[in-house]
C-alpha cells in the first residue's frame, strides 16, 4: 500500500511518472509531463512495463523472448529520453519493469517516494484501450495516494502549452 508521504522537497521539484508504450496517447502524456516539468523545474521518470506473455514456452525460448522484450523496452526508453532532452532540456529517469502493467506502476510508485504525479494518456474514443486508466483511477483511494493526471491523447502541442 502506498503510504501517506510528507513531501520534503524544494518547491517545484515535482517528479512526473509516465508509462511508456508505442501508443500516440503515451507520446501526448509524455509531452504534457515534460512541459510541466520544464515549466516548474520538475523531473520526469519513464517506466516501460513488459507484461507477461500468454504462451507456455520452454525455458530457453522464454528467456530469449524476455531478453528481446527488454531490448525493445530499453530502445524505446532511450529514444523517448533522447527526444525529451533534445526538445525540453529534461533528462528523464528510465526504468524497465516486468509484470502486469497497472500493479507494476503502483509498485514503482510505492518504491519511489519522490514520484508526485502519474501522467497517463487517454486514447480517443474508438482508438484504443483505456484499461490502465480505468484500473488506476479505481485505485486512487486504495493504493494510489498521489494525483493521477489523465491527458486526452489527441491534444496538439499548442493546447498542451496552453494548459501546462
For position 92, which CATH number holds? 3.40.50.620
Position 127 scores a pLDDT of 56
C-alpha cell at position 6: 510528507
Please check whether residue 42 lies inside any domain of the structure.
yes
Instruction: Give the integer Cα–Cα distance in Å for 102 and 116.
Output: 17
DSSP conformation class of 41: T
Task: Supply the pLDDT for residue 1.
Answer: 46
d(CA 36, CA 29): 11
Residue 117, beta-bridge partner list? 16
In a domain, 11, yes or no: no
Phi then psi dihedrals of residue 13, to 5 deg: -90, 55
Q: How far apart are CA 117 and CA 15, in angstroms?
A: 7
Is residue 5 one of the residues assigned to a domain? no
| pLDDT digit string, tens, across residues 31-48 | 999 999 999 999 999 999
Q: What is the pTM of this model?
A: 0.84
Domain count along the chain? 1
- Residue 1 resides in a domain: no
142 falls within a domain: yes
Per-residue pLDDT at 7:
47
pLDDT (0 to 100) of residue 10:
53
Which residues of the chain fall short of a pLDDT of 50? Answer: 1-3, 7
Residue 45 placed within a domain: yes
Does residue 9 form part of some domain? no
The domain of 31 spans 16-163
Amino acid at each position: 500500500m502506498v503510504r501517506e508521504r510528507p513531501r520534503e522537497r524544494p518547491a517545484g521539484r515535482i517528479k512526473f511518472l509516465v508509462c511508456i508504450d508505442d501508443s500516440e496517447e503515451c507520446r501526448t502524456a509524455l509531452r504534457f509531463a515534460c512541459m510541466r516539468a520544464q515549466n516548474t523545474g520538475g523531473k520526469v521518470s519513464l517506466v516501460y512495463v513488459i507484461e507477461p506473455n500468454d504462451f507456455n514456452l520452454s525455458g530457453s525460448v522464454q528467456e530469449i523472448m524476455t531478453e528481446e522484450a527488454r531490448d525493445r523496452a530499453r530502445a524505446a526508453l532511450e529514444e523517448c529520453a533522447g527526444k525529451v532532452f533534445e526538445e525540453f532540456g529534461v533528462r528523464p529517469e528510465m526504468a524497465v519493469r516486468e509484470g502486469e502493467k497497472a500493479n507494476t506502476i503502483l509498485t514503482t510508485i510505492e518504491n519511489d517516494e519522490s514520484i508526485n504525479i502519474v501522467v497517463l494518456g487517454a486514447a480517443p474514443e474508438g482508438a484504443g484501450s483505456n484499461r490502465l486508466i480505468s484500473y488506476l483511477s479505481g485505485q486512487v483511494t486504495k493504493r494510489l495516494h498521489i494525483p493521477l493526471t489523465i491527458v486526452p491523447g489527441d491534444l496538439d502541442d499548442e493546447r498542451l502549452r496552453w494548459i501546462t
